[in-house]
Structure 1
Amino acid sequence: MSDTAERKMRFLYALRSKGVTDARVLTAMETVDRGAFVTGIFADRAYEDMPLPIACGQTISQPSVVGLMTQALEVSPRDKVLEVGTGSGYQAAILSLLARRVYTIDRHRRLVREAETVFRRLDLTNITAIAGDGSHGLPDQAPFDRIIVTAAAEDPPGPLLAQLREGG
């Protein structure tokens, strides 16, 4: 078994051991290569279950946290999802395999540009990445079936709740 295959196998085992049990979420996380979103000196740690630094003083979330948050979101194939906090784009990429459409917004233009580059490379065509203040959401695209906030926030901003579809 190659070193990469073994690392990916350990990666999936770590997800399961931390409580990620939803088959669709596990398949999406197995399909989307976290290594595509981790560059530079931390690239060799892409398959470890830990957050890693990315540009603009941000981090790519710990894979088990991504898995648990995605699982809790209960995304269906018909859903339109808003993610606040694009970061590396990893969470949006996972969501793109589970939802009909994903909108992701981040205040750091550089992160949005870099994420879009990875989305194109991976041929993920159902993601729209936008540079802006995520606390305002995207009223022009509302309502959303699901909203996930992966950026630091005290409480869910009111405008986001107003953009969530009834029952979302």
Structure 2
Amino acid sequence: MKTLRTIIPFCIALFPAYLWGASTTADPFLGRWVLDVRTSHYAAKTCPKSMTIEMTQAQRGVHYQSHTEPAVGEAFDVEYTADYDGKPAIVTGSKGILLPVSLQRKGDAVIATYRNAFQIAATSQRVLSDHDHTMTITTVSYDSAGNAVTNVGVYRKAK
């Protein structure tokens, strides 16, 4: 009987999560992230002056929003909602509709793949460190000559 009194409250606490298919652990990538310009490495002076990313839980995956102030040019916003199932999602922004993205989990990392028609235009790998307070996004894209360009953005979790 004592065992039942211990198990029943535990089951009741988990039951709503089971009913709605929610995970009992939060996605560690969720939250507001701020680019650390000093520790980021971008090709040929392309590092933004500032960038923030906010990821929140959505009914179908994660909702991603970013605001970027580039070194040269006007600030812009980007957003999408995608699940980690590899299916493409539409990316929109202040500059219109952008390349579709698909997200997949690979171990502790999230892989975001951006496609232009049937070709991969860029791939980003998001990983966490420092007890989930630092997110590093390594993006490989291709220049007009087809050469791979790698940028590494280091983000700190905002409080």
Q: What TM-score range do you get, normalising by the shorter chain?
A: under 0.3
Select the structure that is richer in strand: 2
Q: Answer with 1 or 2: which has the greater Rg.
A: 2
TM-score by length of 2: 0.28
TM-score calculated relative to the size of structure 1: 0.27
